[in-house]
Amino acid sequence: MYVYDEHDRQLLAERVAQFRDQTDRALAGELAEDEFLPLRLQNGLYVQRLAPMLRICIPYGMLRAEQLRRLARITRDYDKGYAHFTTRQNVQLNWPALEDVPDILAELAEVEMHANQTSGNCIRNTTTDQFAGVQSDEITDPRPYCEIIRQWSTYHPEFAFLPRKFKVAVNASEHTDRAAIQVHDIGLQMVHNEAGEPGFRVHVGGGLGRTPMVGPVIRDFIPELDLLTYLEAILRVYNRYGRRDNKYKARIKILVKALTPEGFAERVEAEWAHIKDSPTRLTREAIDRMKTYFTEPDYQPLDNNPEALVSARAESRPFDNWVTRNVNEHRKPGYAIVTLTMKKTGTPPGNVSDRQLEQIADLAERYSFGEARVTHEQNVVLADVRQDQLHELWQDIRPMGFATANLNTLTDVICCPGGDYCALANAKSIPVAETIQRRFDNLDYLYDLGNIDLNISGCMNACGHHHVGHIGVLGVDKKGEEYYQISLGGASQNDAAIGKILGPSFAREDMPEVVEKIINVYVDHRTEEEEFLDTYRRIGITPFKERVYA
C-alpha cells in the first residue's frame, strides 16, 4: 500500500501544526464558533450529542498492522477503548476531548494517518472496493488512482469551501460494485475503450440523503491520464454553479438535475477543454510510479482447495458454513479473501474495542502480509489468506467474535451510530439492528434466505445507506416518538436503485415482526433461484404492503 515520502510527511506535519494553532485560537476565543467550524470539520472533528466525535480517514480502506495498533492505543489513551467503522471506510472515535485532538492527529501522523477532509464541505475520502487488487474480474487495481485522487484533493485551495460535501468512489470490478459508485457525487467505473486503453466511465450526481438519486453517466470514457483535469472541471463547475442558498439543495445532484445530465456534461466539457492540457494532466510516469506502491505481496505458488481445507470443511459444518459465506475467491490460486464480520449480535454494527483492533493487527500480520481493509459494510477484510490456513484462522477468530458466518445475510446489517451517539439522529438505530438480529438467529434459515441487505439510518442524512438496502429502515420523529419507515427494493451495486417506501412507519418494538412478515412474503413467492431482490422486482411492492398492513 501507499507509503509516505518526505513530501507527504512534511505536508501532514504542517497540517497538524496548523490545526494545533487553530484549536489554540479557538480555545482562546480568537475564532468564533462558526469560523472554527469548517476548520475542525475538515480535520475530522464533529461536535456530537454527547461529546466531540473524531472521524479518522482510512484512505480507500487500507490499514497496516502498525496503524491498527496505533488506533487501539489512541482509543485507550484518549477515548473509551473502542472505535466505530463507518460506511465510508473511515473510523470514528466517539469521546475525544476537543483540546486533545491536535495530539491525536500528531499520533496518527506518525503512522501516516490523518483525519483530513473526513467532514465539511470539501472533497472527502475517496473510497473503493474492499477486494481491490485481489479479485479476478478486475480491469486493473483501482487503488493507485484512489491515492492519486487523494493527493490531488488534499488541501485543494480552490475546493475547500464547496456548496456541500463531495464524495468520490472508484470501482474497477467488471461485474460487481462493492463501492456503490452510483450513489456518490462522482462515481468512477474503470473501463477499457475500444482501443483497449484504460480509463473511466464517469457518473455524477448520485447520492443518498434527502433526495436520493442514482448518478447518471456524464461521460462514457475519460482516459486515465485525463482523470484529474476532468475531476477538476467537474468540481469547478460545481463550485461556481452549485446552489448555496439552501443546504438541502446544495449537493451536486441538484445541479445535475437542474441542468439535466446533458446540460451539466456540456458545461464540464467546456471547462475541461480549457484545462485538459494543463500541468494537472497526469503523466504516464506518475501513474506507473503510483502503481509500484500497490504491487503483489510475496505470494507462494499454491493450488486451490488444498487437502487441509477440503478435509476441515468435511469435518466441521460451522467451518464449512463460514467458508461458504465469509470467504471469497482470490485471483491467486491457493489464496482466499476473508471477511471478518463486525456484526455479532449484541454489539453495535461496526464497533470494535481496542483489544479487537490489536487482534485484527495480529491476524493481519500472521495471515495476510500485515494489511487489513475496512469495508463500507462496516466489516474488516483480510485479503491475502492462504487457503491451507483458513481453518486455523477460523479457530483463532471464533472467540474474538469475528466469525459470525452471516456475511451479506439479513443480519449483516449496515447501521449508523444513530440516536445513541449522533446529535443529528431522529431515532436510535443500533437497538433496531439488534432486535432484528435476535429474531433471525438461526443460521440455516439465514442461509436459506440468501443475500439480503438490511440498512438502517437514524435520520435522513442516510449514513446507514437505507435508500439502497434491499430492506431499508429510516428513523423518523413523530411528535417526539421514535418511529421507523421501511423501504424495499433499494440496491447499491451495478443495478443501483433507490428503495420505495412501503407505507406508514412503525414503532420500534414492532420492527422484528414487520421484517419477519416482509421476509415471509419473499419466502412464499420466490422461485427456486430467486434472491430477495429478484422476487421483489418481479412481484412489486403490493404483496408486501398487503401482508404488513393487513
* Burial label, 18 (beta-carbon count in 10 A; 0-12, 13-18, 19+): middle
- Told to check if 20 binds other proteins by CB under 8 A, we report no
Amino acid identity of residue 264, one-letter, is F
Shortest CB 38 distance to other proteins, Å: 6
| Residues 330-359, interacting with other proteins (CB under 8 A) | none
Out of 23, 117, 121, 356, which residue is the one contacting other proteins (CB under 8 A)?
A: 121
In order, the DSSP letters of 313-348 are: HHH-HHHHHHHHHHEEE-SSTTEEEEEEP---TTS-
Q: Which residues of 494-511 are buried (b: 16+ CB within 10 A; e: fewer)?
A: eebbbbbebeebbebeeb
Query: Closer to other proteins at the Cβ: 188 or 290?
Result: 290
Helix (H) or strand (E) holding 198: strand 198-204
Q: Which residues fall within 8 angstroms of residue 37, CB to CB, at 6 or more apart?
A: none
What are the start-end ranges of the H helices in 340-381? 354-367
- Told to check if 7 binds other proteins by CB under 8 A, we report yes
Out of 47, 51, 66, 155, which residue is the one contacting other proteins (CB under 8 A)?
A: 155
The answer to whether the CB of 165 falls within 8 A of the CB of 120 is yes
- Told to check if 11 binds other proteins by CB under 8 A, we report yes
Q: How far is 360 from 370, CA to CA, in rounded Å?
A: 10
With CB under 8 A, what is the number of residues at the site for other proteins? 48
Shortest CB 156 distance to other proteins, Å: 6
Query: Closer to other proteins at the Cβ: 155 or 447?
Result: 155
Out of 111, 123, 162, 254, which residue is the one contacting other proteins (CB under 8 A)?
A: 162
Stretch binding other proteins (CB under 8 A), from 232-240, 256-264, 298-306, 334-342: 232-240
Query: Closer to other proteins at the Cβ: 235 or 460?
Result: 235
Nearest residue to 236 via CA among 149, 302, 340, 166: 166
Shortest CB 361 distance to other proteins, Å: 20
Query: Closer to other proteins at the Cβ: 39 or 93?
Result: 39
- Told to check if 194 binds other proteins by CB under 8 A, we report no
The contact mask relative to other proteins for 22-51 (x = CB under 8 A, - = no) is x-------xx---x--xx------------
Out of 80, 156, 355, 366, which residue is the one contacting other proteins (CB under 8 A)?
A: 156
The contact mask relative to other proteins for 281-310 (x = CB under 8 A, - = no) is -xx-xx--xx-xx-----------------
- Told to check if 151 binds other proteins by CB under 8 A, we report yes
Query: Closer to other proteins at the Cβ: 8 or 510?
Result: 8
- Told to check if 14 binds other proteins by CB under 8 A, we report yes
Q: How far is 305 from 200, CA to CA, in rounded Å?
A: 35
Helix (H) or strand (E) holding 259: helix 252-259
- C-alpha distance from residue 114 to each of 27, 122, 380, 397 (Å): 22, 15, 19, 29
Stretch binding other proteins (CB under 8 A), from 161-169, 248-256, 301-309, 491-499: 161-169
- Told to check if 57 binds other proteins by CB under 8 A, we report no
Shortest CB 425 distance to other proteins, Å: 25
Shortest CB 429 distance to other proteins, Å: 30
In order, the DSSP letters of 469-482 are: SSEEEEEEEETTEE
- Told to check if 277 binds other proteins by CB under 8 A, we report no
Q: Which residues fall within 8 angstroms of residue 99, CB to CB, at 6 or more apart?
A: 23, 27
Shortest CB 248 distance to other proteins, Å: 16
- C-alpha distance from residue 203 to each of 158, 206, 223, 262, 476 (Å): 22, 7, 15, 12, 30
Q: Which pairing describes strands 371-374 and 52-57: parallel, antiparallel, or unpaired?
A: unpaired
Helix (H) or strand (E) holding 92: strand 90-93
Nearest residue to 469 via CA among 494, 438, 490, 483: 490
Shortest CB 157 distance to other proteins, Å: 4
Stretch binding other proteins (CB under 8 A), from 12-20, 131-139, 339-347, 472-480: 12-20
- Told to check if 158 binds other proteins by CB under 8 A, we report yes
Out of 280, 408, 435, 494, which residue is the one contacting other proteins (CB under 8 A)?
A: 280
Q: Which pairing describes strands 371-374 and 351-353: parallel, antiparallel, or unpaired?
A: unpaired
CB-based contacts of 535-539 (< 8 A; 24+ apart in sequence): 536/470, 536/488, 536/489, 537/489
Out of 46, 152, 200, 294, which residue is the one contacting other proteins (CB under 8 A)?
A: 152
- Told to check if 243 binds other proteins by CB under 8 A, we report no
Query: Closer to other proteins at the Cβ: 32 or 195?
Result: 32
Q: Give residue for cell 466489516.
A: 379
Q: Is 192 helix (H, G, I), strand (E, B) or coil?
A: strand
Out of 161, 248, 445, 549, which residue is the one contacting other proteins (CB under 8 A)?
A: 161
Helix (H) or strand (E) holding 107: helix 101-110
- Told to check if 140 binds other proteins by CB under 8 A, we report no
Query: Closer to other proteins at the Cβ: 26 or 446?
Result: 26
Query: Closer to other proteins at the Cβ: 14 or 315?
Result: 14
How many CB atoms are located within 10 Å of the residue 48 CB? 18
Query: Closer to other proteins at the Cβ: 6 or 307?
Result: 6
Q: How far is 424 from 202, CA to CA, in rounded Å?
A: 32
Q: Rule CB under 8 A: which residues touch other proteins?
A: 3, 5-7, 10-11, 14-15, 17-18, 21-22, 30-31, 35, 38-39, 121, 148, 151-152, 154-163, 228, 236, 239-240, 244, 274, 278-280, 282-283, 285-286, 289-290, 292-293
